[in-house]
Amino acid sequence: MLVNLTYEVFGKVQGVFFRKFTKDKAIELQIVGWVKNTEYGSVTGIAQGAKEKINVFKKWIQYEGSPHSRIDTAKFKEEEIEILEFTKFEVRH
């Protein structure tokens, strides 16, 4: 089963390489999508892939993150999809 996960992470998540580590984790898990900073200090994005891998990614985003980040809260919206919309995982600006 393929899943589309929309996420937003709040806390100390900018200026701590959160996007780079998120991309690395996504590539490790063979997930596609994107991540970017928002203008109000959070990080947001979309991740798509197999449900089991998305669950691992979700846990990582919510509890681990980059080494110097501090995650206060994370919001998720998940839905089943038929096909992947993206071909890779990228950092957007």
CA distance 19 to 29: 15
Task: Give the torsion sign (CA, 45, 46, 50, 52).
Answer: positive
Measured at the CA of 87, the angle between CA 85 and CA 90, to 5 degrees, comes to 100
What's the predicted TM-score (pTM) here? 0.96
pLDDT of residue 91: 98
Q: pLDDT tens digit string along 32-61?
A: 999 999 999 999 999 999 999 999 999 999
Domain parsing of the chain, residue ranges: 2-91
Return the CATH number of the domain spanning residue range 2-91: 3.30.70.100
DSSP one-letter code for 17:
S
Annotated catalytic sites, by residue? 19, 37
Listed residue (61, 45, 42) closest to 53, CA to CA: 61
E strand or H helix that includes residue 55: helix 51-63
